[in-house]
Amino acid sequence: MLDNRNPDNEEFLEYVVEVVNQVLASGQMPESLPPILSENSQFRGLLSDLIAIYQFSLALANGKLDQEYRIRGKIAGALKSLQANLRHLTWQTQRVAQGDFSQRVDFMGDFSIAFNSMVKNLHDYGEASEQRTLKSSTQKQMVVKSMLEAQSNRDEIEKINAQLKAQLEEINQLQLLLQEQAIRDQLTGLFNRRYLGETLERELARAKRSHYPVSVIMIDLDGFKNLNDSYGHQVGDMVLQSLGNLLLVKTRMGDIPCRYSGEEIVVVFPNVDAETTAQRAEYLREAFAELSFNNAGLTIQATFSAGVASFPEHADEMEDLLHAADRALHTAKSTGRNRVAVYQSSRVK
């Protein structure tokens, strides 16, 4: 459930992205928005621009060339250029129909060749008509030929419209894919370390303004080097992938699971204190310990140790917070592994 009292949390951003995706898919303004969005004129303006782009593109694809545009940007410029070309082409076609055979098209590739060829044929036909009287059958043939060429030109315009629409959709999908690849670890599907640095800094800044805790779990697979040496890196990758899938399924929408280094993973919990985070870490540890992996008929099980630290209880800055979680992880490792330890702070409160 979206918390209107705390507009800066990650869940709120997820909701905003969902609203934008709905507008891109439907071309319509959502029926209802929380007050913090519905009262934000810039956000509603953004949604209106997206709807305008959607409707403008759809209108062009359907051959409606008299649409007014009120949007800006590179995509808007491309659509505006396409509209201008099609409207100019329509005007040129009308001029040809009125007997102006001086019209030429040089801005639409192969279509330009077909259009100019048609105009030239009509021009030649007109000149020949002034010089001699064509036989009725010849006149009919020329008229039929012109009609067929005109139909071919209309089909070509429709084909161009369909291609432009498909290209726009492909560009949008590629942009989304590139954005996702830039922040995700390819092996585990978790966020990468760069994304962790950017996001944790932002979460701590929000927490300082709004006075709520931010906790982290630093996870390290137990005996991972021995696992790789004994069964091969392929099995090690399989274990890491399974841990990544577990974290993606078992954490909340607002939580931020990231691959920190080789077998180390950090999970950020906005607005969660150290005690609750430790309970969640225990839940994840037990769930992972119950998993088993099959390698050439041999069943393998793996465990992890975890350290917990929290802002502002244990640290105020990102590096200090991660260091505190790492120290707690070392405690968990040194006291037997396959366990969770909370950083023991010596700070004076």
Active-site residues, by number, are 263
For 94, 214, 261, 343, the CA distances from 276, given in Å and listed in that order, are: 74, 11, 25, 14
Give me 300's structure tokens: 């393998």
Q: Are 103 and 96 in contact (CB under 8 A)?
A: yes
CA torsion 240-242-248-252 (nearest 10°) is -100
Give me 52's structure tokens: 């305008």
* Distance separating alpha carbons of residues 82 and 86, to the nearest angstrom: 6
Contacts of 310 (CB under 8 A, 6+ apart): 213, 214, 215, 216, 273, 274, 277, 321, 343
* Distance separating alpha carbons of residues 173 and 70, to the nearest angstrom: 24
* Distance separating alpha carbons of residues 160 and 79, to the nearest angstrom: 13
Locus of tokens 């951003």: 13
Locus of tokens 């139909």: 151
Q: In this structure, how many other beta carbons lie within 10 angstroms of the beta carbon of residue 225? A: 11
The verdict on whether omega for the bond into residue 35 sits within 30 degrees of 0, i.e. cis, is no
